[in-house]
Amino acid sequence: MAQKLIIAAAGFLVLGFGGYFALVNLLNKSPKTNFTNDAAGGKQISATNYDFGDAPDGGQQQFPSLLASNGARTRKTDEVRLGQEVTTEADSKQVDADEADDGVKLNTNACQESTAYFLVRLKNPGQAGGTVYLNLYADWNKDGKWSGSDECGTEWAIRNLAIDPGKQTEEIAVYTASFTAGKNTEEIWYRGAVTVGQQMDESATGEFGGGEIEDYSSAVL
């Protein structure tokens, strides 16, 4: 089956809190630590440096996550982030140890159109300017990289989907985007990201001024 990437504008939705609370029930990963309240009314661990992804870096898995590997990281997390909560750390919390990955959910169908849900939280809804970008990477072929594809889907599944934060009037809104999933949809790693004013590329690496990086796995580690 030929590769196909679908990001349908007609399928791109913004929902209010009603949609958010309905989606929360789908999220299968809950924070496991204590947080302190931030000014936006959410919860956040006191900042160290960045928010990193936490996919395994090195060994059999080659995902660039650590600072030494130029792993994707965001410096400022209070203005725009994914889900209710966020952590910041000096380096990637290896492996799969970030307590606040709660903003991305996939509904996948092998080699068919699938859906990604991004919960985007704004500190000042309706007042933000600029452009926010959503990205999704999924290791369909299980080679430990965010680039490439298998016979059905490209691994950079959602590419810099732009949203206007000034049009978001609720603190949290749910954005959905369509893509074609790969053949393997179980026991894989996937990465969801929101970045402020900066686009990502196929490598899923580098430093970004604002946003959040979240890595998920159903793999047996």
How far lies 54's CA from each of 39, 73, 175, 202, in Å?
26, 10, 23, 18
Contact (Cβ atoms closer than 8 angstroms) between residue 85 and residue 101: no
Q: Which amino acid, 153?
A: G
Structural domains in the chain (count)? 1
Q: Predicted confidence band at 193 (pLDDT cuts at 50, 70, 90)? A: very high
Q: Does some domain include residue 4?
A: no
- Cα 29 to its chain centre, rounded Å, is 13
Q: Is residue 2 part of a domain?
A: no
Per-residue pLDDT tens digits for 105-158: 999 999 999 999 999 999 989 887 899 999 999 999 999 999 999 999 999 999
State both tokens at 164. Answer: 């206007």
Tell me what pLDDT residue 100 has: 85
In a domain, 61, yes or no: yes
**If DSSP codes are grouped into helix, strand and coil, which group holds residue 20?**
helix
Q: Which domain holds residue 71?
A: 9-26+36-217
Tell me if 14 is assigned to some domain. Answer: yes
Query: Is residue 175 over pLDDT 60?
Result: yes
pLDDT of residue 38: 43
- Whats the size of the chain, residue-wise? 221
Residue 109 lies in a domain: yes
Nearest to residue 157, comparing CAs of 178, 186, 187? 178
Q: How far is CA 45 from CA 49, 77, 126, 146, in A?
A: 11, 11, 25, 28
Residue 3 covered by a domain? no
In a domain, 1, yes or no: no
